Amino acid sequence: MALILPVENIMPQWGENCFLAPNATVVGNVIMGADCSVWFNAVIRGDVNYIRMGNKVNVQDGACIHCTYEKYGTTIGNNVSIGHHAIVHGCTLHDHVLIGMGAIVMDNAVVHSNTIIAAGAVVLENTVCESGSIYAGIPAKKVKSISAEKIEGEINRIANNYVKYADWFRNP
Protein backbone atom coordinates (compact mmCIF):
# COMPACT_ATOMS: atom_id res chain seq x y z
CA MET A 1 0.00 0.00 0.00
CA ALA A 2 1.34 3.43 -0.96
CA LEU A 3 2.15 5.90 1.81
CA ILE A 4 -0.78 8.34 1.75
CA LEU A 5 -0.66 11.08 4.39
CA PRO A 6 -2.67 14.20 5.19
CA VAL A 7 -0.93 17.52 5.77
CA GLU A 8 -2.80 20.08 7.88
CA ASN A 9 -5.88 17.82 7.61
CA ILE A 10 -5.81 17.84 3.79
CA MET A 11 -5.79 14.33 2.35
CA PRO A 12 -4.70 13.50 -1.22
CA GLN A 13 -7.46 12.62 -3.68
CA TRP A 14 -7.40 10.67 -6.93
CA GLY A 15 -9.86 9.66 -9.62
CA GLU A 16 -10.96 6.30 -10.94
CA ASN A 17 -8.60 3.65 -12.23
CA CYS A 18 -5.45 5.07 -10.63
CA PHE A 19 -2.48 2.95 -9.59
CA LEU A 20 -0.24 3.89 -6.66
CA ALA A 21 2.78 1.61 -6.27
CA PRO A 22 3.26 0.06 -2.83
CA ASN A 23 6.24 2.29 -2.03
CA ALA A 24 5.01 5.50 -3.70
CA THR A 25 4.38 8.49 -1.43
CA VAL A 26 1.52 10.95 -1.93
CA VAL A 27 0.90 13.57 0.75
CA GLY A 28 -1.17 16.67 1.38
CA ASN A 29 -2.94 18.92 -1.06
CA VAL A 30 -2.79 16.64 -4.10
CA ILE A 31 -5.67 16.06 -6.50
CA MET A 32 -5.15 13.76 -9.48
CA GLY A 33 -7.61 12.76 -12.18
CA ALA A 34 -8.52 9.36 -13.58
CA ASP A 35 -6.15 6.78 -15.09
CA CYS A 36 -3.10 8.19 -13.32
CA SER A 37 -0.19 6.11 -12.07
CA VAL A 38 2.44 6.82 -9.44
CA TRP A 39 5.28 4.33 -9.71
CA PHE A 40 7.85 2.81 -7.39
CA ASN A 41 9.67 5.27 -5.13
CA ALA A 42 7.91 8.26 -6.71
CA VAL A 43 6.99 11.13 -4.38
CA ILE A 44 4.17 13.64 -4.85
CA ARG A 45 4.43 16.06 -1.95
CA GLY A 46 1.67 18.66 -1.65
CA ASP A 47 2.72 19.82 1.78
CA VAL A 48 3.64 23.48 1.24
CA ASN A 49 1.33 24.26 -1.68
CA TYR A 50 -1.07 22.46 -4.02
CA ILE A 51 -0.44 19.86 -6.73
CA ARG A 52 -3.11 19.36 -9.39
CA MET A 53 -2.85 16.59 -11.97
CA GLY A 54 -5.21 15.90 -14.86
CA ASN A 55 -6.19 12.56 -16.32
CA LYS A 56 -3.76 9.95 -17.62
CA VAL A 57 -0.67 11.31 -15.88
CA ASN A 58 2.12 8.87 -15.08
CA VAL A 59 4.81 9.67 -12.52
CA GLN A 60 7.53 7.13 -13.13
CA ASP A 61 9.93 5.45 -10.73
CA GLY A 62 11.85 7.78 -8.44
CA ALA A 63 10.29 10.98 -9.81
CA CYS A 64 9.50 13.85 -7.44
CA ILE A 65 6.70 16.40 -7.77
CA HIS A 66 6.77 19.24 -5.27
CA CYS A 67 5.79 22.90 -4.98
CA THR A 68 7.06 26.11 -3.36
CA TYR A 69 5.80 27.45 -0.05
CA GLU A 70 3.55 30.50 -0.44
CA LYS A 71 4.67 30.96 -4.06
CA TYR A 72 4.06 28.26 -6.66
CA GLY A 73 1.77 25.28 -6.76
CA THR A 74 2.28 22.63 -9.41
CA THR A 75 -0.26 22.09 -12.17
CA ILE A 76 -0.05 19.16 -14.57
CA GLY A 77 -2.47 18.73 -17.46
CA ASN A 78 -3.84 15.62 -19.14
CA ASN A 79 -1.82 12.92 -20.91
CA VAL A 80 1.49 13.80 -19.27
CA SER A 81 4.43 11.45 -18.65
CA ILE A 82 7.04 12.32 -16.04
CA GLY A 83 10.09 10.13 -16.59
CA HIS A 84 12.14 8.15 -14.11
CA HIS A 85 13.91 10.34 -11.53
CA ALA A 86 12.60 13.59 -13.01
CA ILE A 87 11.86 16.57 -10.75
CA VAL A 88 8.81 18.76 -11.40
CA HIS A 89 8.76 21.67 -8.97
CA GLY A 90 6.32 24.57 -8.62
CA CYS A 91 5.60 24.78 -12.35
CA THR A 92 2.90 24.25 -14.97
CA LEU A 93 2.86 21.42 -17.48
CA HIS A 94 0.06 21.69 -20.03
CA ASP A 95 -1.59 18.73 -21.83
CA HIS A 96 0.38 16.19 -23.90
CA VAL A 97 3.80 16.76 -22.37
CA LEU A 98 6.67 14.32 -21.93
CA ILE A 99 9.28 15.07 -19.25
CA GLY A 100 12.30 12.86 -19.96
CA MET A 101 14.20 10.75 -17.48
CA GLY A 102 16.21 12.79 -14.99
CA ALA A 103 14.94 16.12 -16.32
CA ILE A 104 14.25 19.01 -13.95
CA VAL A 105 11.52 21.63 -14.40
CA MET A 106 11.96 24.49 -11.93
CA ASP A 107 9.69 27.03 -10.23
CA ASN A 108 7.30 29.13 -12.30
CA ALA A 109 8.33 27.46 -15.56
CA VAL A 110 5.58 26.74 -18.08
CA VAL A 111 5.74 23.84 -20.53
CA HIS A 112 3.06 24.28 -23.18
CA SER A 113 1.17 21.42 -24.86
CA ASN A 114 2.71 18.91 -27.27
CA THR A 115 6.21 19.46 -25.92
CA ILE A 116 9.03 17.12 -24.96
CA ILE A 117 11.63 18.00 -22.35
CA ALA A 118 14.59 15.74 -23.16
CA ALA A 119 16.18 13.38 -20.66
CA GLY A 120 18.55 15.22 -18.34
CA ALA A 121 17.41 18.70 -19.42
CA VAL A 122 17.08 21.49 -16.86
CA VAL A 123 14.25 23.96 -17.46
CA LEU A 124 15.25 26.97 -15.38
CA GLU A 125 12.94 29.05 -13.20
CA ASN A 126 10.52 31.30 -15.14
CA THR A 127 11.25 29.61 -18.50
CA VAL A 128 8.36 29.31 -20.97
CA CYS A 129 8.65 26.32 -23.32
CA GLU A 130 6.64 26.88 -26.46
CA SER A 131 4.08 24.39 -27.73
CA GLY A 132 5.12 21.78 -30.25
CA SER A 133 8.82 21.80 -29.38
CA ILE A 134 11.64 19.68 -28.02
CA TYR A 135 13.83 21.25 -25.33
CA ALA A 136 17.19 19.81 -24.31
CA GLY A 137 20.36 20.74 -22.46
CA ILE A 138 21.42 22.64 -19.36
CA PRO A 139 19.84 25.12 -19.35
CA ALA A 140 17.13 23.69 -21.61
CA LYS A 141 16.79 25.39 -24.99
CA LYS A 142 14.51 24.65 -27.92
CA VAL A 143 16.34 22.27 -30.25
CA LYS A 144 13.58 21.72 -32.81
CA SER A 145 9.89 21.70 -33.52
CA ILE A 146 8.08 18.46 -32.91
CA SER A 147 6.30 16.54 -35.66
CA ALA A 148 2.76 15.16 -35.43
CA GLU A 149 4.31 11.69 -35.66
CA LYS A 150 6.47 12.39 -32.60
CA ILE A 151 3.45 13.63 -30.64
CA GLU A 152 1.56 10.42 -31.43
CA GLY A 153 4.55 8.09 -31.39
CA GLU A 154 6.15 9.34 -28.18
CA ILE A 155 3.95 11.58 -26.02
CA ASN A 156 0.64 9.77 -26.56
CA ARG A 157 2.16 6.29 -26.89
CA ILE A 158 3.96 6.52 -23.55
CA ALA A 159 0.94 7.93 -21.70
CA ASN A 160 -1.27 5.16 -23.12
CA ASN A 161 1.30 2.47 -22.33
CA TYR A 162 1.43 3.53 -18.68
CA VAL A 163 -2.34 3.08 -18.36
CA LYS A 164 -1.80 -0.47 -19.68
CA TYR A 165 1.17 -1.11 -17.36
CA ALA A 166 -0.90 0.01 -14.36
CA ASP A 167 -3.56 -2.54 -15.32
CA TRP A 168 -0.94 -5.30 -15.02
CA PHE A 169 -0.47 -4.42 -11.34
CA ARG A 170 -4.13 -3.84 -10.55
CA ASN A 171 -5.19 -7.08 -12.24
CA PRO A 172 -2.35 -9.59 -11.76
CA pseudo-torsion sign 139, 86, 17, 154: positive
Q: What is the pTM of this model?
A: 0.97
Nearest to 98, CA basis, from 124, 135, 68: 135
Residue-number span of the structural domain to which 127 is assigned: 3-170
Query: Domain holding 61: CATH number?
Result: 2.160.10.10
Q: What value does the mean pLDDT take over residues 31-35?
A: 98
Higher pLDDT, 148 or 129: 129
Q: Which spans in the chain are helix H?
A: 148-150, 157-170
Q: What is the tens place of the pLDDT at every residue in 36-92?
A: 999 999 999 999 999 999 999 999 999 999 999 999 999 999 999 999 999 999 999
pLDDT bin (cut points 50, 70, 90) of residue 110 is very high
Alpha-carbon gap, residue 136 to 130, rounded angstroms: 13
- The region of weakest confidence among 52-66, 92-106, 145-159 is 145-159
Give the number of domains in the chain. Answer: 1
Q: What value does the mean pLDDT take over residues 135-143?
A: 98
